[in-house]
Chain A
């Protein structure tokens, strides 16, 4: 029952996407829109096939920056959340800084960071980290706070230390929220890497797009966009799979009958 509705939904979303592409294709053909202004989906598809080696090369660079930045942001988030959870005074002090860090326009950082940290990979990784660590940290903190107060007092009544309570109760309780933070960040991560390549890069999808855009090769720009969408979705899926394995208690389950 549940399964059939799921399949129904995915068919429906597939249908709406196909419809959108057909509309686009038709609009471009009927109105004779010039290639350099808006290429048709079929043209973009052909371009992807023509230049797949180029796309693969630049994607690899972008993916590498994303991976480093993403992993770094997880480590940073774990560190900050652990610290803030243990020293509650810090929460008041650090929270505004965390929020402000998210209000800085990314594109400005993409220009400034290379000036300060050179033209290599480092500034790109920093931008990805800056974008990704915030949703992870906020969700992790929320997750740590979500532990049942009665559970905490139960552990206190058993004489558990703060560290034991953190390890056994709070941290596992935070996992579902932690993973929703990871998923939000995963969707942003590749886009952040692309923006970081907009200025001062010699390779990567962002660099590729700026060059092609200057040449009015809009089909190539959009081909890169398609690649970015696919990579972002893949990343979210990977996080989903990791969650399935690491948080087995949160899967939907059948209830065992009572004896």
Chain B
């Protein structure tokens, strides 16, 4: 059964018709990438799935239950790491556990066991400002994972990183996904990133966004250059003129 089912949701934000009848699914342990031109409403879609926004119409079902407009079910990571300056790395990543009612000591002990796998071993007591961008994103990802490990929404999490760090983070995320099975909905406008990570790709149209097409990626077979060109052509067609 699909973990997430988004069924014909639409949303108008500040008078802008942003989403038009979007439907998509994310399966168990699947990495689904939503690819679309900048400003097409990808973030709005994640805001709706996370429950922060209520769609004008349509529903969001998670594990078969209706979670439309209700928060605190899936974990959600944005482009900014949003780590709290006032807490060290351990204190930051343990926040979701504290919110779930775990005692501080217990939460810290539990979170600490994940630090090595997230490349943060030895940095538990550093403050976010002392760390590099890549490390901060990994910490944010760990915080995301500790909130809800089965479903994670990732909104361009690596967009602010330099090319080499981003590449490393992609490989690391795939490795992590192999070890900690979870369903990931990943939003990006970067084709390379999409092709590298995805089991399945949805390409969105320009605003109001709809699903333009769905691509199944066979990771073993690899991606041909022709495929990349086709996707690029679609994205170019869909990019809004005001973003040129």
- Measured in the bound complex, the distance between the Cα atoms of B47 and A156 in whole Å is 11
B119 nearest CB across to chain A (Å): 6
Which of B71, B84, B131, B132 makes the CB contact (< 8 A) with A157? B71
Number of interface residues of A (CB under 8 A): 28
B101 nearest CB across to chain A (Å): 11
Q: Which residues of B contact A173 (CB under 8 A)?
A: 84-86
Does B52 lie within 8 Å of A256, measured CB to CB? no
Question: Residue on A with the closest CB to B136?
Answer: A258
Given known contacts A172-B84, A255-B130, what 14 new A-B pairs fall within 8 Å (CB)?
A157-B50, A158-B72, A158-B99, A159-B71, A168-B98, A247-B86, A248-B127, A249-B87, A253-B127, A256-B126, A256-B132, A257-B132, A258-B135, A258-B165
- Measured in the bound complex, the distance between the Cα atoms of B72 and A247 in whole Å is 30
Of the listed stretches B75-83, B177-185, B194-202, chain A binds: B75-83
B75, B85, B87, B130 pick with most chain A CB within 10 angstroms: B85
**Mind listing 18 A-B residue pairs with CB under 8 Å?**
A148-B80, A150-B80, A154-B82, A155-B99, A157-B52, A157-B71, A157-B76, A159-B99, A160-B99, A164-B99, A168-B98, A173-B84, A247-B86, A250-B85, A256-B132, A257-B132, A258-B131, A259-B135
Q: Which residues of B contact A169 (CB under 8 A)?
A: 84
A253 nearest CB across to chain B (Å): 5
- The 8 A CB mask of B33-48 against A (1 = contact, 0 = none) is 0000000000000010
Size band of the B side of the interface?
A: 20 to 34
A156 nearest CB across to chain B (Å): 6
Using a CB-CB cutoff of 8 Å, which residues 127-149 of chain B contact chain A?
A: 127-135, 147
Using a CB-CB cutoff of 8 Å, which residues 155-178 of chain A contact chain B?
A: 155-160, 164, 168-169, 172-173, 175
**B114 CB within 8 Å of chain A:** no
**A202 CB within 8 Å of chain B:** no
Does B130 lie within 8 Å of A258, measured CB to CB? no
- Measured in the bound complex, the distance between the Cα atoms of B126 and A253 in whole Å is 10
Question: Residue on B with the closest CB to A257?
Answer: B132
Q: Which residues of B contact A153 (CB under 8 A)?
A: 47, 52
A157, A175, A254, A259 pick with most chain B CB within 10 angstroms: A157
Answer whether A256 and B99 are a contact pair too, CB < 8 Å, given A150-B80, A151-B84, A158-B71. Answer: no
Which of A158, A250, A255 makes the CB contact (< 8 A) with B96? A158
Q: Which residues of B contact A157 (CB under 8 A)?
A: 50-52, 71-72, 75-76
Does B50 lie within 8 Å of A150, measured CB to CB? no
